[in-house]
Amino acid sequence: MSTSTQSKRTHWASLGTVLLACLIAISFADVTSAQGRRKGKRDKKRGSKRSKKAPRATIILDRGRELENVEIREEKWAAIKYRAKGTRRVEEVRGEKVLEIRYVDADPVYSSGVSRVRAGLYKRAVESFDKVLGALEDDNSWTWFYSTYWRGEAKRLSGDAKGAASDLKALTDKDPEHFLAPRAFFALGLAHGALKSASEAEAAFTKLDQGFGQVWAAKAQLGLGDAYLMMGKLLEARRAYGLAGSRSQGDPNLRLGAQVGEAKCMVMRKEFDGALKTFASILRQKGISPAVMAAAYAGKGDCLRAQGESTSNNETLKKALLAFQTVVVRFAGVPESYPRSLFRSAELYAKLGLEKLAELQRKELRSRCPSSPWTAKLP
C-alpha cells in the first residue's frame, strides 16, 4: 500500500472520530436540555402549588371547642373541609356546627374593618373593606367573600340598604352554598325590607328554607317578619313571627325574639295593653341573649311612649324613658336597640323639660354611634 493511500485512510478515520464525538456531545446536550426543561416545569408546577397554598384558620365550634390552625380546603355550608396540621387526612364539619372561622393570615386592614363593624363605626368599616377589596387580585379567595359580606352588613347597619343589597347579592350569586351564604341571604332580606321591596325580601328569606337547616328556616321567618314590619305590612309580619315561634325548635332566643316582633305589631296597631303584657312576660325570662333583652326593653319603651303621647300623660312618658335608659345603661353597644334608645331618651328628656340631660344623650349617640341612621336624625 502506498504512503498516499495510508495517509488518506488515517485522515478519514480521524475525521470519523471527530464527527462521532460531536454527535455524542450533541445528543448528551439534548438530553441534558430536555431534563432541564422537565425540571423547570416541575419547579414551576411546585411554585404554582405553593402560591395557591390553602389558607389556615381556627374553626370555632358551637360548643366552645376549637380546631386550631387547620388548613381550609373547602368552605361550604354543607361541609367545611379541613386538614389538621401534621396530617394528610382531610376531615369535614357541617356549617351548622360552626360559629366562626378565623383566618390566621388576615390582612390587618380587614381585621380593623371587622372591629369597626362590631364597635358600631359602620362608615369607617366600609372604608376599610373598600381598601381590602380594591387591592385584592383573587375574587375567589376567602378574603373576598368575608370582606364583601362584612361591607354589606356595615352598609345595611349604617342605613345604606341599596349598597348593602348590591354587596350581599354579589356574594350569594357567586356562591349560594358558601358557609357565609345563610348570613348573607338573611341580611339581604333585611336590606330589601328597608328598601320596601317585598318580593325581593321574600325571595332572599325563601332561600334559607333550602338546605340550611331548621334554625335558619326559623330565623328566615323572624327576618321576614322584621322586613314586613319595616314595610308596614302588619298582618304578614304577625304571620311570619308566628311561624318563627313555631319553628324555634326549643331555642328560647328565637321563640322570644318572635314574641318581641308580635308585640311590636301590637304597638303599631295601638294594642298597648296586650303589647305591654307580652313585653313583661319576655323580660321575666332567664338566660336570654342581650340582643333579645335589649329589643324587649326598647319595644316596651316605644309602647309606653306611643301610649303616653296619645293620652298626653307625662307619667307614662317617664316610664318609657326608664325603659329606654335601661337599654342605654345595661345593653350599651347592642346594634339597633342601643342607638334607638339613645335617640328616644333625648326626645323624652327634651319633652319633659330636661334639656341638659337630652343633650347628654345626643352627645353619647354622636360619639358612640356616628354611623347609625338614628344619629342622622338628630337636629
10-residue averages of pLDDT along the chain (379 residues): 47 44 44 48 44 86 91 96 92 95 95 95 97 92 97 96 98 97 98 97 95 94 97 96 92 96 97 98 94 98 97 96 98 95 98 97 96 94
Output the pLDDT for position 52. Answer: 66
pLDDT for position 64: 81
Crossing angle for the helix pair 161-174 and 142-157, nearest 10 degrees? 150
> Which CATH number belongs to the domain containing residue 325 in this structure?
1.25.40
Is position 178 within any domain? no
Q: Among 298, 292, 295, 197, which residue's Cα sits nearest to residue 248?
A: 292
Q: How far apart are CA 53 and CA 24, in angstroms?
A: 43
Residue where one domain finishes, among candidates 101, 126, 156: 101
What one-letter code names the amino acid at 152?
G
In a domain? residue 378: yes
In a domain, 283, yes or no: yes
**Structural domain of residue 73, as residue ranges?**
56-101
User: What domain count does the chain have?
Assistant: 2
Residue at a domain's end among 38, 73, 101: 101
CA distances from 255 to 183, 247, 284, 321, 336 (A): 19, 8, 14, 27, 20
E strands in the chain: 56-61, 66-75, 80-83, 90-93, 98-103
Taking a C-beta distance cutoff of 8 angstroms, is the pair 85, 70 a contact? yes
Residue with cell 345563610: 182
Which residues are CB-contacts of 18 (< 8 A; sequence separation ≥ 6)? none
* pTM > 0.75: yes or no: yes
- Residue 148 inside a domain? The answer is no
DSSP state of 70: E
Confirm whether 364 is domain-assigned. yes
Joined grid coordinates for residue 286: 332567664
Contact 361, 349 (CB under 8 A): yes
Copy the grid coordinates of residue 273.
295593653
Which of 101, 132, 164 lies at the terminal end of a domain, its last residue? 101
Whole-number pLDDT of residue 47: 42
Q: For residue 173, with 0-12 CB atoms within 10 Å meaning exposed, 13-18 middle and 19 or more buried, which class applies?
A: exposed
Residues 77, 211: contact at Cβ < 8 Å? yes
For residue 138, the SS3 value is coil
- According to the model, what pLDDT value does residue 13 have? 46
Please check whether residue 14 lies inside any domain of the structure: no
User: Which residues, other chains included, contact 281 with Cβ-Cβ below 8 Å and sequence gap of 6+?
Assistant: 259
Is residue 15 included in any domain, yes or no? no
CA distance 218 to 96: 13
